[in-house]
Chain A
């Protein structure tokens, strides 16, 4: 299986995606941003379609749309009720635009399917290099601001009263999330990206007692899901995103059962 270049690329890309998703997922869960992550993936779909329409790499279109949207959402961040409604409106607009751009680009249905549901064979070596660069950039920024992000995510009241620059931190986090969504969508597709950015971390929190361990276990769950998903997809020729979704949902339900037994 690993003698095929497309599988080598898929495994390299998948490993990066799992690491980034596991780490970012911890903060997505702590900041209650699962819904926003889902919306960013829909915005990513519109961006990818826009990229195709202009003849760009879909990843570049995704990066453009998700980054601009994340900054916009960060600016709306002060009032959460308004933010929820705004996100819903942006989400609807994004899906509409995505469909329009795909139609205008006159692309075939398989292209749309690839963007929405991901693809194993669609990852080129050039894609992998771009994803490595983006992933390393995201990981460096997270490492630099990790302590601020941890404080603000797990104890927002404490962070505010200690004078942390929480508003700026929120915008930086959203931009990192936009990058992570765009990178991760390359394999699982824009519709299912929130699986990797939410479920591994949501499951991990029930098994550990520290935030550091939560990140480690979340990365492990994401890696198992991606690696096993790619293998099963290769063997069965079924979509990889289906297997990843099933594996991560299983982890999550096992975590809930474990929590119930322990309580």
Chain B
């Protein structure tokens, strides 16, 4: 239990007209690569909003371990409404996450960290390109770089690959897997794409209306997926 980073205990959440998550228990450990899979409307986004503390559980418990301050969450959403005409270079965009009081410009150490993360995410060569002119894959890498800037220990990719072509999906997830392996970064990857989840994740949490199932990703067979969806 000492390695746990996030613990869900009999977690339930209901909107006024709909029960979305029902009695969910799961223990996420440091360095895990968990894929949360399931069809639309089964509560994947609601679960992410609970983890981000934008929603409060109706019942049950959601605890960061050893305490809330020990877990820094980096979140990469699927969509961003960044106007293509904004004069925002990739470097500028990544640096936005250094939101602090004080001087309006980034300090020397902050600029150094931006350069580090741009190199790590293989964006250094195109750092001055306006974000609006970047390809879908480059944009997702920039969103990832921004989320990683402040050194989170839990990274959430929320359908981040949904709008990407196969090459860009592989590039992005290769990068995430590399960071997961080398830096013990815990990753939650929310996706519809079960083959992609099988390729990169170690564990799965399958959500379906009213119930869930968790296990090693190698145990997530097509038969099981079919049975869960038809349950």
Contact = CB atoms under 8 A, between A and B. Distances in A.
Interface of A: 30, 143-148, 150-151, 154-159, 161-164, 204-206, 208-214
A147 B87 contact: no
Contacts of A214: 87
A210 B94 CA distance: 12
A211 B101 contact: no
B102 A144 contact: yes
21 contacts: A145-B101, A147-B98, A147-B104, A151-B96, A155-B80, A155-B146, A156-B81, A157-B77, A157-B81, A158-B77, A161-B52, A161-B75, A162-B75, A204-B87, A205-B85, A205-B87, A209-B130, A210-B87, A210-B88, A211-B86, A213-B87
A121 B221 CA distance: 81
Contacts of A148: 99, 101
B89 interface: yes
Given A154-B82, A159-B99, 5 more contacts: A143-B104, A155-B82, A157-B79, A163-B52, A211-B86
Cβ-closest 6 pairs across A and B? A146-B104, A161-B75, A151-B96, A151-B99, A208-B87, A147-B99
Contacts of A150: 96, 99
B105 interface: yes
Interface in B99-117: 99-105
B92 interface: yes
B87 A157 contact: no
Nearest to A142: B104
Interface string B124-140: 00001010000000000
A151 B97 contact: yes
Nearest to B156: A161
Contacts of A144: 101-102
